Chains A and B, each alone.
Chain A
Amino acid sequence: MLSESARMSSAAEARFRIDAPNSKGRAVKIIALDQDSERVVKRLAQRNWNQASFLTASAFSGAPKRGESFSMSGWLSDIAGRTKDLMQEVGSADLVVMVATAGGNAQAAAIIGEACSAKRIMTTGLIVGDASASDEALSKTLGQLRPWSVMLVIASAEDYIEDMLVALRA
């Protein structure tokens, strides 16, 4: 007589698995951190997605110096150029993906990461184009993203981002 495990893991029994949706869509915010990654993100935004939205922080000019005032708005925008509020965007996200090019300026990662940390939102850092970048350039970008990424991926090809977003049901 077959054990329950043997019977239940058979191909025949697989036919009886519940065929109903088992999850709700997750809101994924994809934020370009520099101009090169903005180009990649703009292209991605042309495709159909479930609940993915695409933003750019390439206008971020740097962290404030001591004594300088700093606004949480004005430097983050959607692909159409409309200004967005960071805290509102992060607050409505299930996952924030920060995209940077190796050697690019990823300083905005600190502000975005801080906001995600405050809102307890998961972050993924994605560095593309490492093949053409020097170790020093990659190291610089990595150093900016690493403290704020729960998962960090260094990909040679831009098409990885699309595969990743599809895999995550974005």
Chain B
Amino acid sequence: MLRKEQNDLLTQTGPGTPMGQMFRCYWIPALMAEELPENDCPPVRVKLLSERLLAFRDSKGRLGLIDEFCAHRGVSLWFGRNEDSGLRCPYHGWKYDVTGQCVDVPSEPVESGYCQKVKLKSYPLIEKGGILWTYMGPPEKRPPEPAWEFAAVPDRQRYISKREQECNWLQAMEGGIDSSHVSWLHRGDLHTDPLFKGAKGNQYNLGDARPVFEVVESAGGLYIGARRNAENGHYYWRITPWVMPSFTMIAPRGNHSVHGHFWIPIDDENCWTWSFDYHPVRELTAAEVAAMRDGKGVHVAVIPGSYRPTANKDNDYLMDRAAQKAGHSYSGVAGFGMQDASIQESMGPVVDRTKENLVSTDNGIIMARHRLMRAAKALAEKGVMPPGVDPEHQKIRSVAIVLPADVPYKEGAKEVLVARPGVAPATV
């Protein structure tokens, strides 16, 4: 459980809040690169960390993320014309460049220089690995660009999707570090989903239904190790890294691609679930990409033209009670992603953690909250940069590995927990 003030601290990410300040220390995913496909394409509304913004790519290909509303009369610039290296409000013709600087106020004489006095709030927007990233903190504290391995591999080795999730970011993210739910909620799909099935590691999962968990702090966050018995006094480990504030990576299975997530607050009652698959040393196959587009693995099918899942709360997540009863699906909701989202959204927009009853196996969640609160406090009181900002913290991998019983996995898997370009992942 958390006290109400602790729950508020962790779940509120708007401007001026402690956790909001913390999110504003990082480069965070803002849009898919495909959302701004060409110069002078239509602008896109973006809400992040409870701020209404507008993204556009100007005539020269420069990317901008600016306050959504015109400084003149508060019109949404989504209605604007993206032309001649700027976005022009259709109401009275005020025009802005990608930095939010007003460059034309037609009603005022050019000589007056009035437009120079008008500037909308703006944030940098950079393209890396098929994602447009933004940094919403103070310019003087802008961190180095994101160094996640999935964003650094060639395009054909990576697939990315995003979906709206209608609940607070924390309850969504906590699902990503709650390894013990997999044996229940996702039971069955592990052995049928084309992006998971067939690995030798699955046999260890089947052979030992009572994994033991070890939570270990890392420089950027945590490692959560799930241990199962293997042959000859060895353990089969699945190690999930969590990097602050909201990145997780699922341990690999066989030669399948590796998957992971970011959970990014839209506001305090909605978040983006970003999902990625990549393989460090090979291209994804056409069949794999087709399966991902089809909503398999950690991805979900979305309503065409949007990022809203096809199965959503408005259609009761296409709950299939017959499949549930017949044992084809444990939860009755199809697919890993929507199984998670349906459960997490059912908790309400912001779950009341004063009423929960955590148990010992929830220590991953308890430790993550502990580290988030500690880092938010250190940032607010002493200006200490939180873990996960340093690019070295981002160069991590999830791992599946068999180790001797007496070896601490943080040591035994030390080399393979670090992303090394061109080196195959440790997987079973």
Contacts and interface: CB of A to CB of B under 8 A. Distances in A.
Interface of A: 2-6, 8-11, 13-14, 17, 22-23, 95, 122-124, 130, 135, 138-139, 142-143, 146, 149-157, 159-160, 163-164, 166-169
A22 B357 contact: yes
Contacts of A6: 313-314
B366 A167 contact: yes
29 contacts: A3-B313, A3-B316, A5-B314, A5-B342, A8-B346, A9-B313, A9-B347, A10-B349, A11-B269, A14-B349, A14-B352, A17-B348, A17-B352, A22-B357, A122-B359, A124-B360, A139-B408, A150-B212, A153-B214, A154-B408, A154-B410, A155-B217, A157-B374, A160-B370, A163-B370, A164-B367, A167-B362, A167-B369, A168-B366
Contacts of A156: 217
A13 B279 CA distance: 43
A168 B348 contact: no
Nearest to A96: B360
Interface string B329-349: 000000000000010011111
Contact of A142 (B215, B315, B374, B408): B408
Contacts of A124: 360, 363
A9 B363 contact: no
A11 B349 contact: yes
A50 B48 CA distance: 40
A50 to B, nearest CB: 11
B357 A152 contact: no
A15 B112 CA distance: 55
B317 interface: yes
B166 interface: yes
B34 interface: no
Judged by DSSP, the binding face of B is: mixed
Interface string B393-417: 0000000000001111011000000
B360 A151 contact: yes
Contacts of B269: 11
B332 to A, nearest CB: 12
A151 B361 contact: yes
Contacts of B362: 167
B2 interface: yes
A155 B349 CA distance: 31
A151 B363 contact: yes
B213 interface: yes
Contacts of A8: 346
Given A5-B346, A10-B349, A23 B357 contact: yes
A127 B350 CA distance: 33
A156 B223 CA distance: 13
B347 to A, nearest CB: 8
5 nearest A-B pairs in the assembled complex, by CB-CB distance: A6-B313, A5-B313, A152-B214, A167-B366, A163-B370
Contacts of A95: 360
Interface in B294-352: 313-317, 342, 345-350, 352
A123 B342 CA distance: 32
A22 B214 contact: no
A146 B216 CA distance: 13
A160 B367 contact: yes
Contacts of A13: 348
Contacts of B406: 139, 142-143, 146
Contact of B363 (A164, A166, A169): A164
Residue picked from B359, B373, B411, most chain A C-beta under 10 Å: B359
Given A166-B1, A167-B2, 17 more contacts: A4-B316, A5-B313, A5-B342, A5-B345, A9-B166, A11-B348, A22-B355, A95-B360, A122-B360, A142-B408, A150-B360, A151-B212, A154-B216, A155-B217, A156-B217, A157-B374, A163-B370
Contact of A151 (B213, B352, B369, B370): B213
A166 B313 CA distance: 34
Given A10-B349, A166-B1, A153 B215 contact: yes
A164 B349 CA distance: 25
Contacts of A153: 214-216, 363, 367
Contacts of B411: 135, 139
A14 B2 CA distance: 18
A145 B379 CA distance: 35
A42 to B, nearest CB: 21
B358 interface: yes
B349 A149 contact: no
B269 to A, nearest CB: 7
Nearest to A154: B216
A157 B378 CA distance: 14
B376 to A, nearest CB: 14
Contacts of A143: 406
Contacts of A150: 212-213, 360-361
Contacts of A130: 217
Given A5-B346, A6-B313, A139-B407, A154 B355 contact: no
A9 B342 CA distance: 10
B227 to A, nearest CB: 9
A131 to B, nearest CB: 9
B212 A152 contact: yes
